[in-house]
Amino acid sequence: MTRIRLHNTRTRRKEDFAPIDAKDVRMYVCGPTVYDRAHLGNARPVVVFDVLYRLLRHVYGVEHVTYVRNFTDVDDKINATALARKQAGAEGTLEQLVQARSDETIGWYLKDMDEVGAMRPNQMPRATEFIAQMIAMIEGLIAEGYAYEKEGHVLFRVREYNDYGKLSGRSVDDMIAGARVEVAPFKEDPMDFVLWKPSTDDLPGWDSPWGRGRPGWHIECSAMAHELLGDSFDIHGGGNDLMFPHHENEIAQSRCAHPEGEFAKVWLHNEMLQVEGKKMSKSLGNFFTVRDLLDKGVPGEVIRFVFLQTHYRKPMDWTSDKAKSAKDTLWNWRRMAQDVISSEVDPEVLEALADDLNTSKAVAVLHRLAKDGNAASLKASAQFLGLLTDELNWVHHLAPQSVLSQPILGRPTLQQFEKTKWEELLIGERAKAMATKDFKELDRLKALLLEAGVEVRMSKAGVELVPGPDFDAAKLESV
Ligand SMILES: [Zn+2]
């Protein structure tokens, strides 16, 4: 059996991964807050943990891995969008509008993540479906003295949990000194964090022992992980921006509410994403969503491939140069692999992934396989990483007939590009030009083809047209 080693944030070491139960390997990853389209940075943990999910399924068996990723659908940003719609005259109660906004955003999210080749987790719970479990957990924490109620708020007493800060390696006092902890009159200590808060009439709320209100953000992951994965489970993942306070708070709540369990054994955190060397931000004008890129013609497979080139514990820099070269590489690989039956995954690819998800090394192996002309293994190995799959195929003139008949993403297919007709046209124009010494029309046609992403190869023997990675048949339709 492949030995998997993972870097555990909790111990700061790479460790052999030994599941609690090899017949039931359990992983929880913090999912999105569903108030808007996912930006490119949101897709990074999705791809990282998708690779881990595929690896675990390979090693332990498809039936023996459970992957849970939540949707945070209780959030003031969702409330604000719903309230704005209501004030603009939208029909329905505020709760209905909140739900409509979440439904819409979840639909976008799933579609966008499908397009970067991420398998859907086994369970995708929504916070609003687990309010009862959250309330029960909070009641337990109050009963044991770990939490207290004041003015309709319930707060967690951070100083009651001695290991607080261990995951991120901070002391409570350092955190207070450097942190943006909110001081509030209802808090015994500024570090205490909200488990439950009151809702006014224009906010969604649920009945609770502390009045009508809604949960704080952190409690949902603890409640859902416990309900779906138990007191102890194997892996907890997320971006390293979640380490503090979110993951520290999850640990504190869960360990105090269920002291018999260990909560998560291994913690994995991915580094953040930058764009052209800079932090992605709206003010810098380099903020974009996954959908923006897809709409600009960057295939989801290219996004995935660029991501995989950087190890998950290193900052990832998205550049348009990388996207361009990824597209060229994938184009070549797809051409190599198109009529090939895939063979075995190269053992070095597995080895690289088992070594703390070393995807950049795995990609280097793919390059070597391509260079050696080993198309069968290239195809199998790339597909193991979620690349060169039929689902992500964006090069439709390379696709087998079965796929051609159902164009994906509304892109034109080769059937719309009459290759032979164009080649004959060019041969005729060339003959004319040679006779009249007027090359204008021939040059015009060549420029058109180039513009549409078609390489024109003219020789004495004839004319060959080769659609390239940027081929767009629509550009030739009007001619
Ligand atoms: Zn979480």
362: CA distance to ligand 1 center in Å?
29
What's the pTM? Answer: 0.86
239: CA distance to ligand 1 center in Å?
10
Q: Residue 330: exposed, middle, or buried by beta-carbon count in 10 A (0-12, 13-18, 19+)?
A: buried
77 has binding-site annotation: no
122: CA distance to ligand 1 center in Å?
17
Q: Which pLDDT value is given to residue 179?
A: 64
The answer to whether the CB of 307 falls within 8 A of the CB of 47 is: yes
Angle between helices 300-308 and 320-337 (to 10 degrees): 110
Q: Which pLDDT value is given to residue 277?
A: 93
Q: Could you give the dihedral angle defined by the CA atoms of residues 403, 404, 406 and 408, in that order, rounded to the nearest 10 degrees?
A: 80
471: CA distance to ligand 1 center in Å?
42
The answer to whether the CB of 398 falls within 8 A of the CB of 335 is: yes
Strands 273-275 and 263-270: unpaired
219: CA distance to ligand 1 center in Å?
8
380: CA distance to ligand 1 center in Å?
34
41: CA distance to ligand 1 center in Å?
17
DSSP, collapsed to helix, strand or coil, labels residue 10 as coil
437: CA distance to ligand 1 center in Å?
71
Q: Which pLDDT value is given to residue 424?
A: 85
220: CA distance to ligand 1 center in Å?
7
258 has binding-site annotation: no
The answer to whether the CB of 359 falls within 8 A of the CB of 385 is: yes
218: CA distance to ligand 1 center in Å?
6
CA distances in angstroms from 6 to 17, 204, 265, listed in the order given = 6, 40, 11
For 239, phi then psi, to 5°, come to -70, 155
256 has binding-site annotation: no
The DSSP result for 116-139, as a single string, is: TTPPPPSB--BGGGGHHHHHHHHH
431: CA distance to ligand 1 center in Å?
68
406-426 in b/e form (b: 16+ CB < 10 A) is eebeebbbbeebeeeebbebb
173: CA distance to ligand 1 center in Å?
24
Distance CA 346, CA 316 (A): 26
Q: Residue 179: exposed, middle, or buried by beta-carbon count in 10 A (0-12, 13-18, 19+)?
A: middle
The DSSP result for 412-427, as a single string, is: --GGGS-HHHHHHHHH
CA-based end-to-end distance of the chain: 58
CA atoms within 13 A on the CB side of 400: 9
Q: Residue 357: exposed, middle, or buried by beta-carbon count in 10 A (0-12, 13-18, 19+)?
A: buried
Host H or E run for residue 7: strand 5-8
Q: Which pLDDT value is given to residue 401?
A: 40
344: CA distance to ligand 1 center in Å?
37
Q: Which pLDDT value is given to residue 18?
A: 97
425: CA distance to ligand 1 center in Å?
61
Q: Which pLDDT value is given to residue 402?
A: 38
Distance CA 118, CA 45 (A): 10
407: CA distance to ligand 1 center in Å?
38
pLDDT along the chain (479 residues), means of 10: 95 97 98 94 98 98 98 92 89 88 95 98 97 98 97 95 92 73 83 95 92 96 98 97 95 97 98 94 89 95 98 97 96 92 96 98 98 97 97 74 39 57 88 91 90 86 82 75
Residue with tokens 């704080």: 216
Distance CA 197, CA 400 (A): 56
Which residue, among 143, 127, 121, 139, has the nearest Cα to 227 in the 3D structure?
Answer: 127
30: CA distance to ligand 1 center in Å?
4
Tokens matching residue 251: 């640990």
192: CA distance to ligand 1 center in Å?
18
Distance CA 309, CA 302 (A): 11
255: CA distance to ligand 1 center in Å?
15
82: CA distance to ligand 1 center in Å?
23
